[in-house]
Amino acid sequence: MLPGVSIPASLWTLLSAFRSCFRAPTFATFAALVVGFIAQTGQRTVCGMLVGAGLERVWTHDRAHRFFASARWCADEVGLTLAALIVAVVLPPDAPLVVAVDDTLFRRSGAKVHAAYWHHDASAKKGRAFARGNCWVVVGLVVELGCVSRPVCLPVLLRLWTPKGTTKIVYARQLVTLLAQRFPDRVVHVVADAAYSSKDLRGLPARISWTTRPRRNAVFHDLAPAPTGKRGRPRQRGDRLGGLDELAATGVWTDVVVSRYGRTETISICQRRCLWWTVFYTRPVRVILVREPDRHATSGYDLALVTTDLDTSVEGIVARYASRWSIEVVFFDAKHVFGVGHARNRVELAVARTVPFGFVAQALVVIWYAQTAHTHDVVSQRRQHAPWYDTKTEASTADMLTWCRRVIIAEKYRPQHPNQPTPDEIAAVQHAWAQAAA
């Protein structure tokens, strides 16, 4: 354990997995700031993390700022270590990795903030679609936890993107490749929205599949015909099949049962194996068209998917793509529950590290809760404090964070400490518990 910092043994076990990513003094700072990030109920600035850890009178704030601005550690290495921890404690042996890819904007103000540009903010309210800040390409592992029924995304790798640099798709491919190299014996299934489809995806390894939504004007071709034996290069693609509307009009529709978004329902699907020449070149793909159960018309489609996974059932592909929504939930929780992006640092290295650090702390809380703290009392206590949640049956991310906070606070006042708490200390912990439950 760290002197001056009260860390529950269950959380310390998870933090110890990152010891190889840092030198000894830097690891001590990392562990303390993670605890401070979780315990802090106010702004998660760098100094706020120090206050949350209770070290504001023990360490100088320079030590915390140096951790992000100049200490020797690599955010990719930390992310890959987190991925290894997730694979070890959450995923079954030899299970494929389901990877969600997307980007999000953390708003920043100030003329000297590194890599702050004007971006389109898809989560903004109407009329405020553009904002200035840092845009991040995020890669997360989608897992099934026993404590909740919904798929959960745990972010592991990030890249800071600027309009003057390379494309988001190139960054996404780089991060997915890093993840695949870390787990050479695992199949990797990537799910992404329509923004992540371009010719930059050509040449992906066979064990990495990519599932995305095609553009509305996408054109598909039949598979390459067999060589004719005549002189000249054999054809690399077949006849033009047309766009999505043509495939929907000429395809054969069947009904299948699929489980997604917490419910099981019957949908109509049409699939065709073909080539998406402009994106995947000669690699065969499957185009899957979906009609929702409440659709009254017998023509058209509601959802179109393109995947390079030729083996998984169509029900599995549709359910896998539905799990992509979990990364959107992660972004919401990061900004509104965990306070990722509250830091006010400006220099290049600090900006490039603080948001990934926040996502790591967020993922550790979810893993910690699933492995250690999940009980039905969490939900029942929440319903006692908020009886209007009469349909609540599972812990939310906010519940997980509150429970972890309470355990950290209780660790400070364990009976084995040599001095019994004073009345002022008892009042302080009661106040802290009330804030944690708010």
Q: What are phi and psi of 9, to 5 degrees?
A: -60, -35
What residue segments make up the domains of the chain, in order of their start?
A: 210-310
d(CA 230, CA 140): 49
Residue 423 pLDDT > 70: no
**Residue 89, number of CB atoms within 10 A of its CB:** 14
Cβ within 8 Å of residue 14, ≥6 positions away? 85, 364, 367, 368, 371
Amino acid identity, position 66? R
69 CB-near residues (< 8 Å, 6+ apart): 345, 347, 349, 350
For position 124, what pLDDT does the model report?
72
Mean pLDDT computed over 109-134: 85
Query: pLDDT tens digits, residue range 230-274?
Result: 888 889 999 999 999 999 999 999 999 999 988 999 999 999 999
Does the pLDDT at position 178 exceed 70? yes
| Residue 342 · residue 48 · CB < 8 Å | yes
Lowest mean pLDDT among 3-17, 41-55, 405-419: 405-419
Amino acid at the residue 104: T
Strands 117-120 and 151-161: unpaired
DSSP helix/strand/coil, 220: strand
Task: Please tell me the pTM assigned to this model.
Answer: 0.90
Which letter does DSSP use for residue 371 in this model? I
**Residue from 163, 137, 136, 153 nearest 341 by CA:** 136
Q: Which residue has the higher pLDDT, 60 or 126?
A: 60
Q: How many CB atoms lie within 10 A of CB 260?
A: 17
